[in-house]
Amino acid sequence: QVQLVESGGGLVQAGGSLRLSCVVSGSTFSGNAMGWYRQGSGDRRDLVATVTGAYTTTYAASVKDRFTISRDDAKNTVYLQMTGRQSEDTAVYYCNRPHAPLWGWGKGTLVTFSS
């Protein structure tokens, strides 16, 4: 069974930076594309960044040039470096595959950007 454990969230001033981590266990990590999602105050969980097994990255328009996704296959870990604005980036952040079939979701990590 695949387990996803996100960490690194917290309270950050608007304009500040934060790095999230997600450790994947129970599946082959290397070669699998990975993504970061976020869920704000609504029910929708949006994919904001992806990294392929070949290290190609893509971003949603809302985070492009402010977020950086990366991976360390030796540590089975995917990262998200964030420079955040205020309310629009405040959310619970989750990692998972960026395509079906998704793995079971982890608990996520809450990121709050404040003024």
pLDDT tens string 13-27: 888 899 999 999 988
pLDDT value, residue 86: 67
pLDDT value, residue 66: 94
The two structure tokens encoding residue 31: 């070669």
Model confidence band, residue 110 (pLDDT cutoffs 50, 70, 90): very high
If phi > 0 it is left, if psi is from -120 to 50 it is alpha, else beta; for residue 63 that is alpha
The two structure tokens encoding residue 48: 């904001």
Model confidence band, residue 85 (pLDDT cutoffs 50, 70, 90): confident
